[in-house]
Structure 1
Amino acid sequence: MNTVKADRNRSVVVKIAVIVAVISVGLVALLFASVNIVQKKQMGDADKDITRLTEELKGIPDIEHILTIQNQLKSLSSLHQSKHVASRIFGYLPQVTPANVTISSINLDLSTNTMTISGTAASQLAVNTFVDTLKFTKYKIGEKGQEVTAFPTVTESSFTLGSQSASYSLSVSFDANLFANNLKDDSGSSQAPTLVVPKLTTTHATSGDPNDVLFEEQAE
């Protein structure tokens, strides 16, 4: 009697298990179909939207020119930051040129970070002082910035000693930061380089003479 009852219970359990399995398989199939159909529909709708918007953009007159101008406007800021400030040379030279030295020509090459300075001086000693002043001049960015050599190499490319004065020509290399436009100090504030000039002699910037002339007038 107990054996018959146990067999009956086992049969019921098996039937229930089969029914649950069938229902689970059905739910998985339904879920897969639902997800598959929904995803395909969403992807299809997205493709239609992309096609529609693409056609609308193509219909805008001069769209290529508009996009080109927008890209150019976006690049203006970076171009401005990367450009050089060549006019700083007119602030640097009075600080490093001895008072008894004048300049007749400057050739500044920002692509190679070099320049040629030519002019006249009262004596060979004055030219030598000019060379040494350039060599030992440093610069810094901000009050607490590290001092860096401003003019790494200074070479006297020509020299002529006359009866009353000397003519010279110097080939000078400079640190690119002297003319850079995107410099910042330790606090993140935009700063221009400041020269730290050795006090080897009186320069045009420190002479205090209102009649002091740094640049020679060119003969016409």
Structure 2
Amino acid sequence: MTQLNLLPDVKMEYLKTQRSRRLVSGVSLLASAVAITLLVILLTVGGLQKHHLSDLNKDISSDTAKLQSKPDINKILTVQNQLQSLTGLHSTKPATSRLFDYLNSVTPVNVSISSFTLDLTKQSIEITGISDSLSSVNTYIDTLKFTTYTTKDNSTATKAFNNVVLSSFSLTGGGQNPANAAAYSATLSYDPVIFDITKTVKLLVPKKTTTRSDLTNASDLFQASSSQSSSPTAGSR
């Protein structure tokens, strides 16, 4: 069967143009509808946000007024701030409870302490005491000089005490007690890390020294010198 196109070319172009117009119009209407929808959504969200912010401001104003109406509110807030700072203060205070363990570790068994002064501000120590001989005193001084420490975070041995000086010594004769034959005074400074409460410190004492921590029946660490009263003294500032 033979088909003949009886429509003239002009008519065909017209129909094609009409279809294109309808397509463009449909797309334009769809785009306009989408734009209007987005605009409505944005306006709605903006209105809701403004309303929500307004409610929040009202709540803040109401809560502020309630707090301000409470008696002594400034004192309460001050106490709360101080309580919050306690954790920080605790982490910076020195662990002076380690002191007696350190002294037992570094003090030879035949050396006693009559007076002990710890200056946390200058990070210095002053020690006076008695011993059975000047040789034991020298051993004590050398022990302090060569004692090191390590921490849980740092295994490198570091000197625990510096500027160790035997400031004075004398022979007392000991009287009826040979253990009091020599008196001494020493000054030194310490590394603040050994009293850092946030650090786990291990003191390393030279093995050639027999200290009180090595013996189960060591004599008292603190003893009064012959020129002092019978009760031991220890100072700390």
TM tier relative to shorter chain: 0.7 to 0.9
Q: CA, structure 1 residues 214+23, in 2 after alignment: closer, same or farther (shift >3 Å)?
A: closer
Tell me the distance in 2 between the aligned counterparts of 1:18 and 1:87.
Answer: 84
The 5 Å alignment of 1:68-107 reads 68-107=78-117
Tell me the distance in 2 between the aligned counterparts of 1:204 and 1:77.
Answer: 35
TM-score, normalised by the number of residues in structure 2 = 0.72
Partner of 1:203: 211
Partner of 1:161: 170
Partner of 1:174: 190
Tell me the distance in 1 between the aligned counterparts of 2:27 and 2:172.
Answer: 120
Shift of 1:90: 2.6
Q: Percent identity between the aligned chains?
A: 36
One-letter amino acid matched to 1:215: F
TM-score, normalised by the number of residues in structure 1 = 0.76
One-letter amino acid matched to 1:183: K
Tell me the distance in 1 between the aligned counterparts of 2:38 and 2:203.
Answer: 77
Shift of 1:194: 4.2
Between the two proteins, the alignment pairs up a number of residues equal to 209
Shift of 1:154: 1.3
SS in 2 for 1:139: strand
Partner of 1:39: 49
Q: What is the Cα-based RMSD across aligned positions, in Å?
A: 3.0
Asked if 2 retains the 8 angstrom alpha-carbon contact of 1:159 and 1:166, the reply is no
Shift of 1:46: 1.8
Shift of 1:114: 1.6
129, 146, 149: which is aligned to 2:139? 129
Q: Name which one, 1 or 2, has greater alpha-carbon Rg.
A: 2
Deviates more, 1:194-203 or 1:35-44: 194-203
SS in 1 for 2:113: strand
Partner of 2:4: none
Tell me the distance in 2 between the aligned counterparts of 1:20 and 1:162.
Answer: 111
One-letter amino acid matched to 1:52: S
- CA displacement, residues 96-141 of structure 1 (integer Å, 9 cap, x when unaligned): 2233333221110122322011223343322211111112223345
- CA displacement, residues 45-87 of structure 1 (integer Å, 9 cap, x when unaligned): 2222221222122222222222322333333334333322324
The 5 Å alignment of 1:187-202 reads 193-202=201-210
Tell me the distance in 2 between the aligned counterparts of 1:203 and 1:159.
Answer: 22
Structure 2 unaligned residues grouped into runs of 5+? 1-10, 174-180, 231-237
Partner of 1:49: 59
Shift of 1:199: 3.5
Asked if 1 retains the 8 angstrom alpha-carbon contact of 2:169 and 2:185, the reply is no
